[in-house]
């Protein structure tokens, strides 16, 4: 009877864990989301370049959005609403899972939590150096920040196409690395590419973050209490000149896990099946140049493509490899260095933050087009290379074995937790 009760309790806890972590299910097997993202990207590029649809389609995302009162400064187009408002929820959703993993999951140990930080650092430094090698002596040198970022939505989307072939721990590592990478890109934009940083708004945003942390310290768990300070914090960060999506990450890391679990249930489907597809449609509405040879002959495109396709995997792998060999950090569970190189390849999917940085680095529309063509080309190459690499280094049989190991370890953790309680 005692053993039966223990077994039932363990099963209940497993079901509760599954129920309260839908983003974990997304990381386990989310091929549908990955396919939707890719299809949306292809459709968007087609509509943007067909003579019959290009003008209407491209102008649609730039359609002005007006709010009253007039003094309230909010995003003024559909594109900006998607990138600055809706994508904040995506960053919030993924960041809350990273927080959970840092607290009690795959990244709970210091060594494992350090690996994505150091990997992201390498993935920013090496591509920036490569771009500078080709452009440091030219008028295009300001674009060194373009190949620094990894697009979290698309990189996870491509990895999700492999389903359970890839260990969950590796997907969590990529999510953590991409978030840290994007935060690095946001900081870079804030310091080097923002000419009008509003310190007053920034300090107000920090003040609202302090309010959220205070509510957490007071053990306030109802999400509704965090809504108003969260909205004010987002508004202040948006108007400070810093990329507004950082508000989602800050909120996720400042709120209690109990509150996050409830919000996760509410946001999971809208984020993955509405916001992410909209993001793909809006951000790939790019008119491709008729003469691609001119776009690829520029030192800008050379620096961006080599920086993303080669610099990203070299930087991520090299920094991670050195850190593990020096025993500063450790590899994710059930992974090896070959798989780590695959993550580096997928890190070359720059896209959103790279495109955003290119619009800040260059004022001339022609240079922005060259940058965007290079970013899209590099991202496609990185996606194909990463996907192909993982299919070679992780056969289906190995994927099944990894899945069983993770299930077994999950069961052991549940038993240990039950024994402690």
Spell out the domain ranges in the chain.
24-194+242-411
For residues 265 and 258, give the distance between their C-alpha atoms in angstroms, rounded to a whole number.
12
Q: Quick one: pLDDT at residue 405?
A: 54
Rg (CA), the chain: 22
Give rounded-to-5 percent helix, strand, coil for the chain: 80, 0, 20
- Please identify every stretch of the chain with a pLDDT value under 70, giving residue numbers as ranges: 1-31, 67-70, 106, 194-195, 396-421
- Encode pLDDT of 42-74 as tens digits: 999 999 999 999 899 989 999 988 766 667 888
Q: What is the pLDDT of residue 110?
A: 83
Instruction: Provide the whole-model pTM.
Output: 0.76
Phi-psi region of 199 (alpha: psi -120 to 50; beta: other; left: phi over 0): alpha
Tokens of 18: 């599954």
pLDDT digits (tens, 9 = 90+) for 130-176: 999 999 999 999 899 999 989 887 888 888 888 777 888 888 889 88
Q: How buried is residue 139: exposed, middle or buried, by Cβ count under 10 Å (0-12/13-18/19+)?
A: exposed
pLDDT (0 to 100) of residue 266: 85
- pLDDT, residue 401, reads 52
Question: Which pLDDT belongs to residue 218?
Answer: 93
**Cα 169 to Cα 240, 332, 334, distances in angstroms:** 36, 6, 8
**pLDDT given for residue 57 in this prediction:** 94
- What is the CATH T-level fold of the domain 24-194+242-411, as seen in this structure? Na+/H+ antiporter like fold (1.20.1530)
Give the pLDDT of residue 191: 75
């Amino acid at each position: 009877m005692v053993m039966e009760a223990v077994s039932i309790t363990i099963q209940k806890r497993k079901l509760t864990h599954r129920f309260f972590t839908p983003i974990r299910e997304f990381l386990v097997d989310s091929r549908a989301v990955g396919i939707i993202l890719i299809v949306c990207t292809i459709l968007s590029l087609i509509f943007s370049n067909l003579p019959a649809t290009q003008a209407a389609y491209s102008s649609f995302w730039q359609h002005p959005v007006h709010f009253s009162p007039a003094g309230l400064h909010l995003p003024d187009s559909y594109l900006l609403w998607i990138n600055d408002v809706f994508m904040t929820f995506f960053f919030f959703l993924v960041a809350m899972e990273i927080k959970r993993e840092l607290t009690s999951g795959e990244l709970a140990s210091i060594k494992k939590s350090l690996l994505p930080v150091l990997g992201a650092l390498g993935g920013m430094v090496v591509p920036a150096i490569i771009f500078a090698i080709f452009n440091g002596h030219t008028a295009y040198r300001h674009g060194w920040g373009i190949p620094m970022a990894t697009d979290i939505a698309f990189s996870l989307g491509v990895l999700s196409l492999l389903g359970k072939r890839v260990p969950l721990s590796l997907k969590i590592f990529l999510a953590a690395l991409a978030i840290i990478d994007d935060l690095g890109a946001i900081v870079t934009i804030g310091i080097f590419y923002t000419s009008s940083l509003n310190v007053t708004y920034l300090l107000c945003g920090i003040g609202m973050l302090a309010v959220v942390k205070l509510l957490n310290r007071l053990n306030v768990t109802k999400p509704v209490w965090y809504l108003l300070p969260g909205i004010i914090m987002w508004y202040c960060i948006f108007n400070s000149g810093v990329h507004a999506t950082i508000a989602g990450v800050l909120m996720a890391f400042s709120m209690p896990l109990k509150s996050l679990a409830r919000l996760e249930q509410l946001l999971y489907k809208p984020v993955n099946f509405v916001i992410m597809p909209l993001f793909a449609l809006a951000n790939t509405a790019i008119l491709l140049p008729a003469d691609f040879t001119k776009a690829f002959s520029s030192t800008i495109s050379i620096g961006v493509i080599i920086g993303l396709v080669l610099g990203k995997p070299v930087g991520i792998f090299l920094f991670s490899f050195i850190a593990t060999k020096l025993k500063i950090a450790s590899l994710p569970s059930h992974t090896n260095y070959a798989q780590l190189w695959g993550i580096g390849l997928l890190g070359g999917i720059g896209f959103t933050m790279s495109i955003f940085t290119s619009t800040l680095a260059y004022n001339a529309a022609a240079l922005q087009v060259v940058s965007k063509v290079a970013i899209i080309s590099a991202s496609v190459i990185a996606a194909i290379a990463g996907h192909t690499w993982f299919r070679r280094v992780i056969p289906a049989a190995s994927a099944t074995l990894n899945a069983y190991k993770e299930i077994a370890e999950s069961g052991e953790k549940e038993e240990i937790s039950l024994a402690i309680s």
